[in-house]
Structure 1
Amino acid sequence: MEKLIVKQAYTGETLAELEMHDNTRVQQMLSMAQTLHKAGRLPEAQRIEVLQKLANLVEIEHEDFSRLIANEGGKPIRDARVEVTRAISGIRIAIIELGNIKGEEIPMDYTPAGVGHKAHTILESIGVVVAVSAFNHPLNLAIHQVIPAIASGCPVIIKPAGLTPLCTLRLAALIQEAGLPVGWVQVALLNNENAEKLVTDPRVAFFSFIGSAKVGWSLKSKLAPGTRCALEHGGVAPLIFDEYANEEDFVSGVVKASMYHSGQVCVSVQRIYVAEKRMQDLAQKIATVAAGQVVGDAINEDCDLGPLISAKETDRIELWVNEAITSGAQLITGGKRINAVSYEPTVLLNPPKDAKVSTQEVFGPVVCIYGYKTLDEAIEQANSLDVSFQAAVFSDNVQRAMEVAAKLEASAVIINDYTTFRVDWMPFAGRKHSGYGIGGIGYTMRDMLEHKMIVVKK
């Protein structure tokens, strides 16, 4: 039996040794899930009771989950606690959203053909849900994929990231403890071959994917006919800095927004556009704060930046930064590897427009600052890539900020806050290569339901 070794993100110490599932087990999971769906979804009152109990159970284990996130995923313990709080809130949001999801009456007498008929819609569970999750928010991403399925009455099979499966396994155990019958939530520990067999099986009604664009789009192309899906990939998030008086707060905040979880967030600020006359000064201020960040083991209370998820990713970031500097970028701070899995907080000024750090998601503690002559030039550069997720603009001129927001190609534009802003009930989605469909607890619940119209002839 193939083994999955889960290691502490910074020290490499073994946290768990797990048995992976083979294709036989995949088929068993799918059969069980399909059987449960065909038998009919659980009553809404039962689902609500499970979710209420689950929220309380996760809250009891708040610190245990926080330490698990820090150890297996490398997210600083202070930020890990925020993730757990969000996860608990996400469970409760699903309960609220159940009250907002309902069918509707369809008017039928607009034309003579419809006279004498009445119609309304009802919502039914779509069927078996398969979710493939990412490493960077090991609890909250599972919440966003599993909890909507429970709330909507769909059996769900989730494959967590191989590097960070422990939060998902513990969450699944608590879901069962909260009273959800066996089989409605299953956790699959799979290699890539068996994961693809799971995802592409014709019994899958809905596929939820959070991860790299390359993998997500490839899997989408292989889905069985009729399988619906939602893909959430990354971006190269742009922020346009106009005239903004509270510069000190902006600088400290933008370091957090670009370096949070060592930049391993799909909407991390990566490209900052500043008027040419201000770019050097602002870059230096950002660099000063960035250089003061404490890098180390995420479990330590004083840690600001934990490790990268693997040595391979650290290798890649090191290569990209070195290429940018060789090609003309000015290194303001950082630019060096600390150890196998850690990299210094790095600020680059005016890297070439075609450099990897300018065109691809770094997913590391690297932020790039570019000068612009006009706002239209900044907007053009912000829109120049084939990825598009959240964007931001800072300006004391509200009208100008709204004009910039209207021109930015993004699924959300945040004014006077950062691209990382999110609450879990808002729509969250990528455009272009950055994704497909809309995330957010309530929006995902709606994706997992199908409309059925009932027409009655009077």
Structure 2
Amino acid sequence: MENTVKIRSPYDQKLVKELTLIEANEIENIIQNAKSLFDDQSLWLPAYQKIEVLEKAASIMNARIEELTFLAISEGGKPYKDSKAEVLRAIKGVKLAVEHISQLKGEQVPMALTEASLNRLAFTIKEPIGVVAAISAFNHPLNLAVHQIVTAVAAGCPVIFKPALATPLSSLALADILREAGLPSGWLQIVLCSKEAAEKLVTDPRISFFSFIGSAKVGWYLKSKLSQGTRCALEHGGAAPVIVEQDADFAEMIPDLVKGSFYHAGQVCVSVQKIYVNQDICDLFIQKFTQATNKLIVGDPSEKSTDVGPLINSREADRVAEWVKEAIADGAELITGGTRVSETIFQPTILFNPPESSKVSCKEIFGPVVCIYPFTVRDEAIKKANALEVHFQAAVFTKDLDIAFDIVKKLNATAVMINDHTAFRVDWMPFGGRDSSGIGMGGISYSMNEMTREKLMVIKSKNL
């Protein structure tokens, strides 16, 4: 097996960098380094020191916005405007972690509620959970690293981070920044390794918390192999259904849905994929949605005007092309797109009414493809939206609050956006899938809480 990984530009496949993979036998030392650091409480970082390090890291990142933006473009292919937005989000994420450090606190537990509990004072305190092992996805190489690395550091946990091998450069840059900001050695170790070595890492009994962002197949498999006592948070994909009622505001809705559908070429776990449109406005919706989609600028992600760039590699472009071809053969109508612009760029594509059995209908597309389905009975649309195993974020467009609340109540999703696209997210809100889409909740403060555990202290005194 090759002991290096070649990082290639998704846009033109040019070699960006070649990095060395660690051997599986090196995992032992990496885990032991982290565990030894955690076991010696004299080495734990006090809150003020974590705040100083992270504040300085945010300042360094802010001074390197363009550098980090083009680094993310080079490895991930996300267009300039969106990569820059990711860098700005990542900086905000570090600041959010700093703000939440002061909120890692316990609470008093009432005593004297029974005679047996007289003369006692009880309260909880928060402690870091232990060594964190984190595996990340390719699609947001800097922001995801912040969500898994910075949260662990802020919670007081040594973290071992495995980035996606397609996009490791942004996390390596973040590691350099954290070191420059004063993070002591051992609190962050980044590993580039094979799947076998990664499995050895996360299933080790010395790992107290496993954070995973990526495919459901891999995530659920690794969860099944975790050691007893290892807690975890898994974030997988979804199909992001949208229900559009006849009173929806087209002027607001169309730009939102186009952005939510084709942002990062649809390579987002909550990207708009299935749009159920009231039959009375379906023709008009298709017309306006198609017009807006066709105005998107597709091409070189380094150009500031580009809206849609490449898929992460040619294999993914092959897969998307096959799924679209299958859907059309099954009876779907191709409204626009459906062809490749290059080896890795696929046109923003709209399909009308593909069968529910087609892959584009029943699996996560993770590409620039959106399916539109007409409906006459709202509950039937909701039933179809809920029929898949994946349930993450969803949306409804209507000006009728009664209809909106009815849909929110009935849709199986962790979050439902009203008059906004499914990919809306800010990093201080809870974010995660349910059912086969994941377990646990992300978001900066939520992840930090997941990486701590409570300890109860009870004091007995005759003077209490």
**Under a length normalisation based on structure 2, what TM-score does the superposition of the two structures give?**
0.97
| Whole-angstrom distance in 2 between the partners of 1:245 and 1:393 | 9
- 1:62 matched residue in structure 2: 65
Contact 2:9 2:16 in 1 (8 A): yes
- Distance of 1:268 and 1:443 partners within structure 2: 22
Q: What's the counterpart of residue 408 of structure 1?
A: 411
- Partner of 2:297 in structure 1? 294
For residues 3-58 of structure 1, give each alpha carbon's deviation from its aligned partner in whole angstroms, at most 9, with x where no partner exists: 11111111111111111111232111111100110112211100000010000011
Out of 358, 362, 373, which is 1:370 matched to?
373
Deviates more, 1:19-28 or 1:207-216: 19-28
Please list every run of at least 4 consecutive aligned residues from structure 1 whose deviation after the TM superposition is greater than 2 angstroms.
243-246
Q: How far apart, in 1, do the equivalents of 2:246 and 2:403 lie?
A: 10
Task: Encode CA deviations 1:53-103: one digit per residue, 9 max, x unaligned.
Answer: 000011111011111111100100111010000000000001111122211
Q: Which secondary structure state, in structure 1, belongs to the residue aligned with residue 341 of structure 2?
A: strand
- Per the TM alignment, residue 300 of structure 1 is displaced from its structure 2 partner at its CA by 1.5
Query: Is the counterpart of residue 92 in structure 1 residue 130 in structure 2?
Result: no
2:171 aligned with 1:168: yes
The answer to whether structure 1 residue 271 and structure 2 residue 274 are counterparts is yes
Contact kept, 8 Å, 2:77 with 2:312, in 1: the verdict is yes
**What corresponds to 1:115 in structure 2?**
118
- What residue number does 2:56 align with? 53
Kept in 2, the 8 Å contact 1:388–1:434? The answer is yes
Residue 12 of structure 1: aligned partner: 13
Residue pair 2:33, 2:186 contacting (<8 A) in 1 also: yes
Determine the structure 2 residue equivalent to 1:105.
108
The secondary structure found in structure 2 opposite 1:15 is strand
How far apart in 2 are the matches of 1:362 and 1:245? 26
Distance of 1:397 and 1:384 partners within structure 2: 25
Q: Identify which of 416, 420, 442 aligns with 1:417.
A: 420
Identity of aligned residues (%): 50
Provide the C-alpha distance between the structure 1 equivalents of 2:29 and 2:179, rounded to a whole number of angstroms. 19
For residue 37 of structure 2, what is the aligned residue in structure 1?
Answer: 36
Give the C-alpha shift of residue 147 in structure 1. Answer: 0.8
Counterpart of 2:249, as a letter, is N
Which residue is equivalent to 2:127? 124
Q: Distance in 1 between matches of 2:296 and 2:329?
A: 25
**How many angstroms apart in 1 are the aligned matches of 2:181 and 2:71?**
20
Which of 340, 347, 351 is residue 350 of structure 2 equivalent to? 347
**Aligned alpha-carbon RMSD (Å):** 1.0
Match of 1:234 in 2: 237
For residues 246 and 402 of structure 1, the distance between their equivalents in structure 2, rounded to whole angstroms, comes to 17
* Partner SS, residue 269 of structure 1: coil
1:159 to 162, 187, 207: 162
The answer as to whether partners of 1:323 and 1:355 remain within 8 angstroms in 2 is: yes
**Residue 277 of structure 1: CA displacement?**
2.6
Residue aligned with 1:253, SS: helix
Q: Take 2:159 and 2:62, find their aligned partners in 1: how far apart are those partners?
A: 23
Segments of structure 1 that go 5 or more residues without pairing to the other structure are: none
Check if 1:357 corresponds to 2:360.
yes
Please give the alpha-carbon distance, in whole angstroms, between the structure 1 residues aligned to 2:11 and 2:91.
Answer: 26
1:243 touches 1:397 (CA, 8 Å); kept in 2?
Answer: no
1:258 aligns with 2:252: no
Question: Which residue is 2:309 aligned to?
Answer: 306
Cross-structure match for 1:22: 23
Secondary structure of residue in 1 paired with 2:234: strand
Tell me, in whole angstroms, the C-alpha distance in 1 between the residues paired with 2:330 and 2:397.
29
Range moving further from structure 2, 12-21 or 172-181: 12-21
Do the aligned residues in 2 keep the contact of 1:243 with 1:396 (CA within 8 Å)? no
CA shift, 1:449, in A, is: 0.5
Q: Is the 8 A contact 1:259 1:365 kept in 2?
A: yes
CA contact (8 A) 1:239 1:271 kept: yes
Bigger drift between 153-162 and 13-22 goes to 13-22
Alpha-carbon separation, structure 2, partners of 1:25 and 1:108? 50
The Cα shift of 1:245 comes to 4.8
Shift of residue 244, structure 1, vs aligned partner: 3.5
Letter in 2 for 1:53: K
What are the superposed Cα offsets for residues 428-451 of structure 1, whole Å, 9 maximum, x if unpaired?
A: 010110000010100110111010
Contact persistence 2:246–2:278 (CA under 8 A): no
